Each structure stands twice: as C-alpha cells, then as structure tokens.
Amino acid sequence: MSAAFPPAHTALIVIDMQRDFCSPGGYADQAGMDVQRLREPIANIQKLLQAARTAGLLVVHTREGHLPDLSDCPAAKMDRSMAAGAPIGSQGPLGRLLVRGEQGHDFVDALKPAKGELVIDKPGYGAFHLTRLAQVLADHHVQQIILCGVTTEVCVHSTLREAVDRGYTCTTVGDATAASDPSLQAPALAMIGVEGGIFGRVCSTAEVVAALGGPALENRATTWVQAFTGI
C-alpha cells in the first residue's frame, strides 16, 4: 500500500453524482447544461470507488438538495435557479428539482453507494455547510481527502476550498470531474496548483488508483496537469 494515501487517514469524497445533474430531465438538463458531459466522469469514478473500497478508505457520497418545504433554500439561491430556467422545487420529469426524496435527487445507478458508505445530504454547494461531514471525518481520523464529481467549478471547488481551510491535504482527480461549461474545466483545475499547490494537487484517475494499490504517488503529478490544462 502506498504511503501517499494512508487508508486509515484518507477519505474519497464523490460530489453530487445525482440524476439532477447527470440525467436527462434533471435540474442541470432543465437549466440548459450538457448532462452527457457531466456523465463523462462516471467510468473513472467507478475505478476510484473500486480502488478506495479495496484499500479500505472511508468513502463519502454527497447529494445537493433541499427539504420538500424548501425552508433550507436561501432566497438568493432560489433566484439564481429561476434565472437559470430551472426553479428549485418546480416539477420536472424526474420529480421536483433538487428536492430530497425525489427521483432526480438520488444517485445515478452506476454510482450507488455500497452498504455502509456515508451519504451526506447538503443544502449548499460545499459539503461542509450545514452537514455532519466535519464530525464524521474527525471521527475517522481523516487527514487527506480525494475529491471527484461535479461540477468542478462549483460544488467540487466549494468543498475543496473549505477542506483546505480546515487543514486537510487534498487531491482533486481531474479526469473524474466535469464542469458545467467545458471552457471552465481547465481553469478550474489550473487554479488548484497555483502558489505551490494552494488548494492541493490535481492527479489523474490512473495515478490515484496506482497509488492506492501500487507504487507511491509522486508529490506532484505535474506532467499530467500540464498536459491537461496546457500550463
């Protein structure tokens, strides 16, 4: 086992791989996003999950959504969803958009949590806001976090930045994330590594899988980052 991700102190967090973001008829689709693009990380996330489960990492799945009465949805967020053409709580083909308990709120079939894996339902973009994630990570003595999911520039970045502020060492798996707009993907990944890795490091799925079950991961996967982002 690689020392890069000690299993007793590392968590894999899979961000918002829900039908509302990754399936036709969900929130993202109603808001005009390309859900096929947002589905692209699924195969790589499956590989990460298999490696994390085999290595014995804590695995966390997050879902963004709101209570049926929308009491936890700030007015400003509601206004933004209305401006996007997909009001939170409105009826869609997969049920009410971004509402807990609806078909669209649940995970895509390919990435259902395994028995015993933690599910964090969050009302905000970041996974720490108004959730028990911080306490769970503390209870499991987590020091490092591996992040993947959607969208890179919003919920992944929001979770990443708060995790860094809380003192976690973070790795974002670039090819296991997707942005709502393809032009935002490379910049969102590039800004992670500025100032000597201010928000941690970006690695590929293959590198993380190898590190979890094979040779040690280099401190910085600069070759892959440069190839992906053009920096």
Secondary structure tally for the chain: helices H, strands E: 11, 8
- What is the Cα–Cα distance from 229 to 107, expressed in whole angstroms? 29
Q: How far is CA 131 from the centre of its chain?
A: 15
Bridge pairing between strands 91-92 and 95-96: antiparallel
16 catalytic residue (yes or no):
yes
Instruction: Specify the 3-state DSSP secondary structure of 185.
Output: helix
Q: Pick the catalytic residue: 155, 170, 175, 203?
A: 155
HSE-CB at 7 with a 13 A cutoff on CA atoms is 13
122 catalytic residue (yes or no):
yes
155 catalytic residue (yes or no):
yes
Written as one string, the DSSP assignment of 32-96 is T--HHHHHTTHHHHHHHHHHHHHHT-EEEEEEE-B-TT-TTS-HHHHHHHHHTT--TT-EETTEE
**Which residue in 66, 50, 67, 26 sits closest to 150, CA to CA?**
26
Bridge pairing between strands 95-96 and 144-150: unpaired
Q: Pick the catalytic residue: 22, 122, 170, 203?
A: 122
Would you say 208 and 48 are in contact if contact means Cβ atoms under 8 Å apart?
yes
- Partnered with residue 178 across adjacent β-strands are 150
Supply the residues annotated as catalytic: 16, 122, 155
